[in-house]
Structure 1
């Protein structure tokens, strides 16, 4: 059995990026993530991203390096990472949901470790998830 790993990060849409680019990012990421057996959930409020990604440690860390160097993101901050017993978002190659609660994403991004993860997981029941 492969050991799972998860990362929860927060970032901000770069000043040079357009909100309209996010749909294309999500579509491309779903394809790439499915090929790598990476699952997770992305929440976006129009300016801030908060995403939990899970898979093998190697694959998750490679993806995080791509996200850190993606010019459409700025202020990428890992707020939680660690081993995972089972997937939290098994049905999502990349679940995506828009949130109108900018304060919630900012709080998660300023959190640390388990506190940030708990805030992220508590936000999920309030969102209308798109499982594609």
Structure 2
């Protein structure tokens, strides 16, 4: 069992319905791979944490690298996991309009994803907030 955290950038501005389709497709396909995790999409950037067996994650990464909707895929964490932090999340979107960065971090802290993963999520959310503030200024 492994856990991977990666980021990538959308090639174009994605409408919320397109992001919803990505989540829906992942939730439909992930049970066959026995992959779980979450996705945060904010300011045209993705952060995703996925967990599963090594071969399944390697296959998923291959699919993700060929996906034309995003680019600049960077793996920040790839580590062994003794158990799943998200056993029931086939793919959950975090960061909807109703969830603040603090709420997301609270949800994840309860799941014990580890300090490195928490730091990455925190930095991602901070970056997204700064970009959002600059755009609205």
Q: Give TM-score scaled by structure 2 length.
A: 0.69
1:21 aligns with 2:8: no
Q: Report how far residue 46 of structure 1 moved.
A: 3.8
Greater gyration radius: 2
- Which residue does the alignment assign to 1:85? 82
| Structure 1 stretches of 4+ moved >6 Å | none
Q: 1:74 to 1:22 in 2, by over 3 A?
A: same
Q: In structure 1, which of residues 32, 37, 60 is the aligned counterpart of residue 34 of structure 2? A: 37
Unaligned stretches of 5+ in structure 2? 102-113, 124-137
Greater helix proportion: 2
Q: What is the number of residues matched between the two proteins?
A: 108
1:119 aligns with 2:119: yes
- Aligned to 1:88, what secondary structure does the other structure show? coil
Unaligned stretches of 5+ in structure 1? 102-113, 124-132
Q: Give TM-score scaled by structure 1 length.
A: 0.72
Q: Report how far residue 120 of structure 1 moved.
A: 4.1
Q: 1:116 to 1:73 in 2, by over 3 A?
A: farther
